[in-house]
Structure 1
């Protein structure tokens, strides 16, 4: 499967899961976007971490979400900060609010979209990027 237009290079998708992030990354391999949710108070916790920021409990369930959402803020990188990004500029990195995980803001690459069309409030949908056999990255594209 070809990589989405505007996706950052594969070497920027290196991940190092820990006990709290591993369930998220294992789900992405199966093309499921999950968000940890506190089983004590129901607060979504993203990024994953050891304690609920509302009630301090540690128990979570991993809830699958649609990947639909809205651009909260974004930046368009127009200059390669490192040489390996030269073929990728311009690219968009955005903070996204997910529709079905209240309070969650996720940082992700916006792909398959004209960087000039991205705006605060733009609607997005999930696009999977199978970087290699070990890593699948959730990316997003603008929808009309």
Structure 2
């Protein structure tokens, strides 16, 4: 018998590669970290992770902890759901979050009522461009996936 999460949560998990693996390792510790150039004088943050800094072309990097705060930059309610496995949760949202401490970095995710809530747990009328959000992490198929909750529900 499948667990409750599998019943309402399709297992669409990320693809892991050498450059992005640290992002997922930190997510498993409930930490949102971004790759940054470690070359003195540069320090630019970058996402998605990649081996070379697009600003100075250095291969030196480090992972900086982010506050996890941001704002909704854009959102959509897929009609029909993008994948058939999500039809049961429609209408659900997909949001783009601009990070407060890295405004050029935007992450895609879902706005939920709590970390383990279903994707349709927030009333569509509550989404607003510019709304402040905070990252939370949910276990999806054994992977800690970033999701977002409103800072002031």
Q: For this structure pair, what is the TM-score category when the shorter chain's length is used for normalisation?
A: 0.7 to 0.9
Aligned to 2:128: 119
Quote how far apart the aligned CAs of 1:81 are. Answer: 3.5
Cα RMSD after superposing both structures: 1.8
| TM-score, length of structure 2 as denominator length | 0.81
CA contact (8 A) 1:37 1:45 kept: yes
Identify if the C-alpha distance between structure 1 residues 84 and 19 changes in structure 2 by more than 3 Å, giving closer, same or farther.
same
Gaps in structure 1 of 5+ consecutive residues: none
Tell me: higher relative CO, structure 1 or 2? Use CA pairs within 8 A at least 6 residues apart: 1
Give the secondary structure class of the aligned counterpart of 2:149: strand
CA contact (8 A) 1:35 1:101 kept: no
CA contact (8 A) 1:94 1:108 kept: yes
Gaps in structure 2 of 5+ consecutive residues: 114-121
How far, CA to CA, are the matches of 1:121 and 1:45 in structure 2? Answer: 22
Q: For the pair shown, which has the larger CA radius of gyration, 1 or 2?
A: 2
How many residues matched?
137
Identify if the C-alpha distance between structure 1 residues 81 and 101 changes in structure 2 by more than 3 Å, giving closer, same or farther.
closer
Identify if the C-alpha distance between structure 1 residues 84 and 10 changes in structure 2 by more than 3 Å, giving closer, same or farther.
closer
